[in-house]
């Protein structure tokens, strides 16, 4: 069976969630001299850098930012990530087993790998490169012009189709409750990753397959075959 596996980045491929949030807030506070509204991403309408930036800017200035302003913010944010990964590389550790698992998937006949991240493309590439997962051929759908995570995942499908990839089944791998919700909305099977082993966070949201990392290769490969679309829990 041909398979397309789409991965989130932060918390899914590498453990960068915490530093990423802090650096986003630090960039905002440096540029605008005000406290960032919240690093609880559920505060915002959609958990994407594009939406988070635009709404936090609007909250401060009562006006939507121009594209140039977003590009300048993105540039400074990316520079902060570059600096942080050199000064505190422990904040950008790959999820155990991800390199081997990535390579294995790409080597299996009829299997394809893509990335769909709620982050902007530039910082996403910095992080992927840091953990050795960035390749020129890797499909990366990011939040540069997309408001919602559903649009980002659809962007990954479109990019893979444009490259001539074909698949009978697709699965999304993510770490957050909003990833579960996105897959439910798209009728897309989901597998969860939770670094601290708190699998219940995603199971309670409707996931049926959750792992702490990629070290159990055979069980993970089996999960790709049987993972279901998340159900809505009451």
* 3-16+93-226: CATH class: alpha beta
CA distance 234 to 93: 35
User: pTM above 0.85?
Assistant: yes
pLDDT string in tens for the chain (234-residue length): 799 999 999 999 998 768 889 999 999 999 999 999 999 888 999 999 999 999 999 999 999 999 999 999 999 999 999 999 889 888 888 999 999 999 999 999 999 999 999 999 999 999 999 889 999 899 999 999 889 999 999 999 999 999 999 999 999 999 999 999 999 999 999 999 998 778 989 999 999 999 999 999 999 999 999 999 999 876
- The residue assigned the tokens 């990392």 is 213
How wide is the angle at C-alpha 106 spanned by C-alphas 90 and 129, nearest 5°?
A: 30
* b (16+ CB within 10 A) / e for 17-48: bebbbebbbebbeeeeeeebeeeebeebebbb
Per-residue confidence (pLDDT) for residue 145, from 0 to 100: 84
Confidence at residue 90, expressed as pLDDT on a 0 to 100 scale: 84
Give the CA distances from residue 163 to residues 102, 150, 158, 192, in Å, rounded to whole numbers and listed in that order.
Answer: 19, 20, 9, 27
User: SS3 sequence, 63-97?
Assistant: CCCCHHHHHHHHHHHHHHHHHHHHHCHHHHEECCC
Give CA separation, 5 vs 52, 156, 192, in Å: 26, 10, 13
pLDDT of residue 234: 63
In the chain, what's the furthest Cα-to-Cα distance? 54
As a whole number of angstroms, the distance between CA 69 and CA 57 comes to: 10
């Amino acid at each position: 069976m041909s398979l397309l596996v789409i991965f989130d980045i932060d918390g899914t491929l590498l453990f960068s969630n915490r530093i990423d949030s802090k650096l986003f807030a630090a960039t905002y506070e440096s540029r605008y001299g005000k406290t960032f509204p919240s690093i609880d991403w559920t505060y915002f309408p959609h958990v994407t850098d594009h939406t988070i930036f635009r709404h936090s800017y609007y909250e401060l200035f009562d006006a939507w930012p121009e594209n140039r302003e977003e590009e300048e913010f993105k540039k400074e944010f990316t520079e902060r990530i570059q600096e942080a990964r050199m000064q505190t590389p422990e904040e950008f550790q790959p999820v155990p087993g991800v390199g081997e698992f990535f390579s294995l998937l790409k080597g299996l006949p009829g299997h394809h790998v893509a990335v769909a991240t709620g982050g902007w493309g530039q910082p996403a590439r910095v992080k992927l490169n840091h953990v050795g997962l960035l390749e020129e051929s890797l499909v990366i759908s990011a939040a540069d012009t997309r408001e919602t995570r559903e649009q980002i995942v659809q962007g990954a499908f479109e990019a893979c189709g444009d490259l001539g990839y074909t698949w009978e089944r697709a699965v999304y791998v993510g770490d957050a409750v909003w990833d579960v919700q996105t897959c439910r909305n798209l009728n897309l099977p989901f597998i969860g990753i939770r670094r601290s082993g708190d699998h219940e966070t995603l199971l309670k949201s409707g996931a049926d397959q959750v792992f702490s990392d990629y070290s159990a290769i055979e069980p993970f490969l089996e999960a790709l075959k049987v993972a279901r679309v998340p159900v809505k829990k009451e």
